[in-house]
Amino acid sequence: MKKFVALVWFSFILASVAVRSTKASEYFDLSYSLNNDTIFYPGQKFNFELYKDRKGYTEGGYWYATYSFCMAEHGGTHVDAPIHFNENGWTLDEIPDSHMIDVRAAIIDVQEDVFSSPSPDAFTLQVQHILKHESQHGKIPSKSVVLVHTGWSRFWPDKQTYLGWTNSTNSSKPILNFPGCSGEAAKWLANERNIVGFGIDTPSVDIGNNGGNLPVHVFFGERQIYNIENVANLHLVLNAVNKKGKLCDGFSSNLRLFVLPIKITGATGGPARILAYC
Ligand SMILES: *[C@@H]1O[C@H](CO)[C@@H](O)[C@H](O)[C@H]1NC(C)=O
Ligand SMILES: *[C@@H]1O[C@H](CO)[C@@H](O)[C@H](O)[C@H]1NC(C)=O
Ligand SMILES: *[C@@H]1O[C@H](CO)[C@@H](O)[C@H](O)[C@H]1NC(C)=O
């Protein structure tokens, strides 16, 4: 009997070890904290504001703190819901959980291409960059979220540089300058790889200086594909080594993501906690 118990106990430990080893060794937080430094896409009503309504000891002798906050939807690390550019698209609270929870992901690292190009802020992701990624790391699985590492996050939270904000002397309209995705690459990822979401470490999936054309937003909106903008810390994932000793380099079958946006009824987008593991 003792032997049997010992065997059961041993099997239980073995099973626990087996289960544990399939879990994440480490989670990477791909979101920026919300505070006074949070960068918003220009033209919205509110930046991030925090009001410390109550903070201190009460007459009852216990500590009590409660704050209010206020912000526009599209600031910091946030999700664009399809309704942002498609009047019939899903609102933020309507995006299916299966598109956000424990989804497969790939990181396409184009940092070298961006910063070796003559004007990094005019760089757009092309189909050739995706094919190069796949030749090194494997095919992007169906229903993945594709994340693009341009390296632009190095400028966060310097608003002027990150947005590449210059004011044209000829118009009152500000001009933004930062890299993004091309319409062709967006179409290819939707049609050939059936992605459910697309993220980037810049203020927008379309380039900053876009002359008012936002092909990536419009196309992904049509296809019910959500965007994630101002993605943080992708370099940490790319440089990490997982428990099995494999470089966590954006390899398509390794990487998984939790995309957790705030649940506001009818929102066109909103701040999100993004966690990755490999
Ligand atoms: C954020 O900015 C507000 C308004 O300028 C200021 O009152 C507040 O002290 C700032 N908070 C922090 C943590 O710096
Ligand atoms: C452009 O104008 C905006 C809004 O007035 C301002 O915040 C920003 O600093 C200006 N940028 C430059 C480069 O002058
Ligand atoms: C402003 O207008 C002039 C004359 O039309 C043009 O040469 C110049 O490129 C314009 N500058 C900008 C920043 O648009």
pLDDT digits (tens, 9 = 90+) for 172-205: 677 999 999 999 999 999 999 999 999 999 999 9
CA-167 nearest atom, ligand 2: 1
Distances (CA, A) of 141 to 51, 100, 255, 274: 44, 15, 11, 20
Residue type, 113: D
Of the listed ranges 25-29, 90-94, 213-217, the one predicted with least confidence = 25-29
Give the span between the Cα atoms of 24 and 34, in whole angstroms: 26
Segment (H or E) for 133: helix 127-137
Examine residue 114 and state whether it is found in any structural domain, yes or no. Answer: yes
Ligand 2 pocket check for 44: Cβ under 6 Å: no
Mutate to test the pocket of ligand 3, among 168, 169, 177 (most ligand atoms within 8 A of CB): 169
CATH number of the domain where residue 157 is located: 3.50.30.50
Examine residue 236 and state whether it is found in any structural domain, yes or no. Answer: yes
Distance of CA 131 to the CA centre of its chain: 21
Please measure the distance between the N-terminal and C-terminal CA atoms of the chain and give it in whole angstroms: 41
Examine residue 150 and state whether it is found in any structural domain, yes or no. Answer: yes
pLDDT of residue 171: 66
pLDDT of residue 15: 44
Examine residue 107 and state whether it is found in any structural domain, yes or no. Answer: yes
Nearest CA to ligand 3 atom 9: 170
Q: Are 263 and 58 in contact (CB under 8 A)?
A: no
pLDDT-derived band at 29 (thresholds 50, 70, 90) equals very high
Beta strand extents in the chain (DSSP E only)? 28-29, 49-57, 63-70, 78-80, 103-109, 124-125, 145-149, 166-167, 174-175, 180-181, 197-200, 226-229, 256-261, 269-277
Examine residue 238 and state whether it is found in any structural domain, yes or no. Answer: yes
Buried b / exposed e along 161-196 (16+ C-beta atoms within 10 A):
ebbbbeeeeeeeeeebbbbbbbbbbbbbbbeebebb
Mutate to test the pocket of ligand 2, among 47, 160, 177 (most ligand atoms within 8 A of CB): 160
Examine residue 175 and state whether it is found in any structural domain, yes or no. Answer: yes
pLDDT digits (tens, 9 = 90+) for 138-157: 999 999 999 999 999 999 99
- Any idea which ligand is nearest the CA of 51? 1
Examine residue 9 and state whether it is found in any structural domain, yes or no. Answer: no
pLDDT of residue 253: 65
Separation of 68 CA from ligand 1 center, angstroms? 14
Segment (H or E) for 254: none
Q: Are 179 and 124 in contact (CB under 8 A)?
A: yes
Three-class DSSP category at 122 = helix
Examine residue 70 and state whether it is found in any structural domain, yes or no. Answer: no
pLDDT of residue 252: 63
Which pTM was predicted? 0.86
Nearest CA to ligand 3 atom 7: 170
Distances (CA, A) of 132 to 57, 258, 263: 59, 26, 37
- Percentage of residues in the chain with pLDDT exceeding 70? 85
Domain count, the chain: 1
Mutate to test the pocket of ligand 2, among 44, 47, 166, 167 (most ligand atoms within 8 A of CB): 167
Average pLDDT over residues 39-63: 97
Residues with CB under 6 A from ligand 3: 168-170
pLDDT-derived band at 232 (thresholds 50, 70, 90) equals very high
Separation of 29 CA from ligand 1 center, angstroms? 24
Segment (H or E) for 162: helix 159-163
CA-166 nearest atom, ligand 2: 13
pLDDT digits (tens, 9 = 90+) for 100-118: 999 999 999 999 999 999 9
**Structural domain for 176, as ranges:** 24-33+75-277
Q: Which two tokens stand for residue 113?
A: 């291409």
Give the span between the Cα atoms of 71 and 37, in whole angstroms: 13
Residue labelled with tokens 């796949």: 134
Separation of 167 CA from ligand 3 center, angstroms? 12
| Average pLDDT of every residue of the chain | 90
pLDDT of residue 224: 98
